[in-house]
Chain A
Amino acid sequence: MTPFTYSRASDTASAVQFGAMAQAKYLGGGTNLVDLLRETIEQPSSLIDVTGLSSAITPTADGGLLIGAAAKNTALAEHRLVLSHYPMLTRSIVAGASAQIRNMATVGGNILQRTRCAYFYDTEGSRCNKRSLGQGCDAIDGFNRNHAILGASSSCVATHPSDMCVALAALDALVHLQGPTGARVIPLVDLHLLPDNDPGKETVLLPGELITAIELPSPLVGGRSTYRKVRDRASYAFALVSVAAILAVEDGKVTGVRLAFGGVAPKPWRAKKAENALLGAPATEATFRKAAEAELAHATPLSGNGFKVELAIRTVAALMTSLAGDQS
């Protein structure tokens, strides 16, 4: 690790004031950042600990939930309003990492965690455009079983590793930001960028911008939801494919649907094409499968991850069929 100073922010204003300084970095639970500091992939000169900022989880006036960015992943997963109104969010969180990591990780840090591409972490031996633009990408012709099939580019094929973000994408979550020049609110699905020619630029955040809270709109009326993660071992592994699905069915027809994928793209992937294909369609396994195929029609599998296309389609079909079955 290169040397840095450490300070604890007591309020948002002072956090942002320090965060605006060059080479400053916010510190959440540290479960990703400490690793990146050790590998010298991140070399900030100062760390601003934001775990003391708001971690409150409170109902909003319009029936949603406001979640302070410093809330721990476990605290969010076990919250009574999340368990009762957004069980899919709990399921996505407890599907990720280990209990120890979930006790440490904050909501803000989870959203901004960086990829788990092994070449990205291998500073000594691998070429990586995300670390150093222009080096090339050793994953494209390398071991890319865990890499992206949607939204990647010829410069980077890494996935965004978060499980929680997949549920947040399906839930139409909003991200509250505070920066040196003011506050703004953006949809979570617009926060992360696709790699294009500059995979080092991963979000639309401005320098020094801090995530202060996540807002969930009220739950979809009549919708049933769940999260399913497919991985190489039953626990403590990143997703090969994961699906967050919300489905409302009336008289055998889909009246509401929200679908998002994890493990397949550089960002939490909202599957709008599939949603459009499903709205108003009969709630049958055949239509679910067809909708998933529509979403994956433009998939660009790599040498080692072609299986993900069919895996994603089957996971969607199975999950949606079980959600529809629960409602008939």
Chain B
Amino acid sequence: MPITVNGNEAELPHDPRVSLLDLLREDLHLFGAKKGCNQGACGACTVLVDGQRVLSCLTLAVQCEGRHVMTVEGLAGDNGLHPLQKAFIEHDGFQCGFCTPGQICSALGMAAEFDRGVPSVITEDFDDDGVALTPEEIRERMSGNLCRCGAHNGIVAAIAEVHAIQGDRTDSREAAA
């Protein structure tokens, strides 16, 4: 079984030592995911595997056999950029852009986690269905993505515009239903 990347099937590497990040960049020439630290500390390599945000630098490519990988290159559709990509531009959610593909993939995974009720370390009441995706919640939930340019305020604003605008979790659940 091969691996699917942005909807296209690709061959898995023969050497099990190849990371998902190296497969994406070196073999498939998808340069969106970045090799920042290559040890799990920066989030620049974040991609979505079966919809979950993960670090491609610490994932062996062979572990993704039969799975669907989505990178930033797969986000734009027939109508142009993904709304979150547009919001990053509008809110100056980047300067050099190095961390941006990881930030955007991470934010998409983050929103899905929030919508299905995953709490964060600052969520006070686990029983409360009305927990809002406040800027503080966004910051905590996005803390695995560092930005050396310090574009965090723009990043939080962009995510808030796209994902927190509906208000709280109950609303976004209803919207999804």
Instruction: Please indicate whether A and B come from the same complex rather than being unrelated chains.
Output: yes
Q: A residues within 8 Å of B by Cβ?
A: 1, 3-6, 8, 27, 29-31, 34-35, 37-38, 47, 49, 51, 74, 77-78, 83-84, 87, 90-91, 94-95, 97-101, 103-104, 229, 234-236
Distance between B162 CB and nearest chain A CB, rounded to angstroms: 18
- In contact, B63 and A30 (Cβ under 8 angstroms): yes
- Residue of A3, A8, A235, A236 near B17 (CB, 8 A) is A3
Contacts of A34 in B (CB 8 A): 19, 58-60
Taking the closest CB of chain A, its distance from the CB of B70, in whole angstroms, is 14
> Known contacts A98-B143, A99-B144; is A31 also within 8 Å of B40 by CB?
yes
Q: Write the chain B residue with the least CB distance to A47.
A: B16
Task: Give the residues in chain B near A77, CB-CB below 8 Å.
Answer: 118-119
What is the chain B residue whose CB lies nearest that of A237? Answer: B143
Indicate if the CB atoms of A35 and B40 lie closer than 8 Å.
yes
* Other-chain residue from B43, B127, B139 in contact with A100 (beta carbon distance below 8 A): B43
Q: Does B62 interact with chain A (Cβ within 8 Å)?
A: yes
Q: Are B63 and A51 in contact (CB under 8 A)?
A: yes
Map CB proximity to A onto B95-131 as digits: 1 under 8 Å, 0 otherwise.
Answer: 0000000000010011001001111110100110000
B103 vs chain A, min Cβ distance (A): 12
B113 touches A74 (CB 8 A): yes
Given the known interface contacts A34-B58, A49-B63, the answer about A99 and B119 at a Cβ–Cβ threshold of 8 Å is: no
* Chain A CB within 10 Å, residue with most, of B52, B117, B145: B52
Residues of A within 8 A of B19 (CB): 34
The answer to the question of B34 belonging to the interface, with a C-beta cut-off of 8 Å to chain A, is no
Which residue in chain B gives the minimum CB-CB distance to A35?
B39
| A-facing residues in B12-32 (Cβ within 8 Å) | 15-17, 19
Say whether B160 faces chain A, with CB atoms less than 8 Å apart. no
The answer to whether A235 and B121 touch across the interface, beta carbons within 8 angstroms, is yes
The reply to whether B17 and A1 contact each other, CB–CB distance below 8 Å, is: yes
A100→B119 contact, CB < 8 A: no
Q: How many residues of B contact A (CB 8 A)?
A: 38
6 additional A-B pairs beyond A78-B113, A95-B121, beta carbons within 8 Å, are A30-B63, A34-B58, A51-B63, A99-B113, A100-B106, A235-B143
B121 near A87: Cβ-Cβ < 8 Å: no
Q: Which residues of A contact B145 (CB under 8 A)?
A: 98
Given contacts A77-B118, A103-B53, A235-B121, contact A6 B58 (CB under 8 A): no
Please report B residues at the A interface, Cβ cutoff 8 Å.
15-17, 19, 38-40, 43, 46, 52-55, 58-60, 62-63, 65, 106, 109-110, 113, 116-121, 123, 126-127, 139-141, 143-145
Residues in chain B near residue A4, CB distance under 8 A = 16-17
Most-contacted residue by chain A among B17, B39, B113, B120 (CB, 10 A): B17
Question: A236 contacts which chain B residues (CB < 8 A)?
Answer: 143-144
In the complex, the chain B residue whose C-beta lies closest to that of A2 is B17
> Which of A37, A49, A87, A235 has the most C-beta atoms of chain B within 10 angstroms of its own C-beta?
A235
State whether A6 touches B16 (Cβ < 8 A): yes
Is A83 in contact with B17, judged by CB distance below 8 angstroms?
no
* CB pairs A–B below 8 angstroms (14 shown): A37-B17, A47-B16, A51-B63, A74-B113, A77-B119, A78-B113, A78-B116, A98-B143, A99-B113, A101-B40, A103-B53, A104-B55, A234-B143, A236-B144
A39, closest chain B residue (CB):
B39
Whose C-beta in chain B lies nearest to the C-beta of A92?
B121
**Bound CA span A171–B52, Å:** 29
B126 to chain A, nearest CB (A): 5
Residues of A within 8 A of B17 (CB): 1, 3-4, 37
Cβ-defined contact, B55 with A100, below 8 A = yes
Given A30-B59, A34-B58: A78 and B117 interface contact (C-beta under 8 Å): yes
Q: How far is the CB of B5 from chain A (nearest CB, A)?
A: 18
9 residue pairs, one from A and one from B, having the closest CB atoms:
A98-B144, A6-B16, A235-B143, A78-B118, A236-B143, A94-B121, A103-B52, A1-B17, A34-B58
With both chains docked as a complex, state the minimum distance between the C-beta of A16 and any C-beta of chain B, in angstroms. Answer: 20
Residues of B within 8 A of A38 (CB): 38-39
Which residues on B sit within 8 Å (CB–CB) of A3?
Answer: 15, 17
Query: In the assembled complex, which residues on chain B have CB atoms less than 8 Å from the CB atom of A84?
Result: 126-127
User: What residues on A are CB-neighbors of B15 within 8 Å?
Assistant: 3
For the complex, what is the distance from the CA of A293 to the CA of B140, rounded to whole Å?
A: 33
Q: How far is the CB of B66 from chain A (nearest CB, A)?
A: 10
* Nearest CB in chain A: distance from B130 CB, A: 15
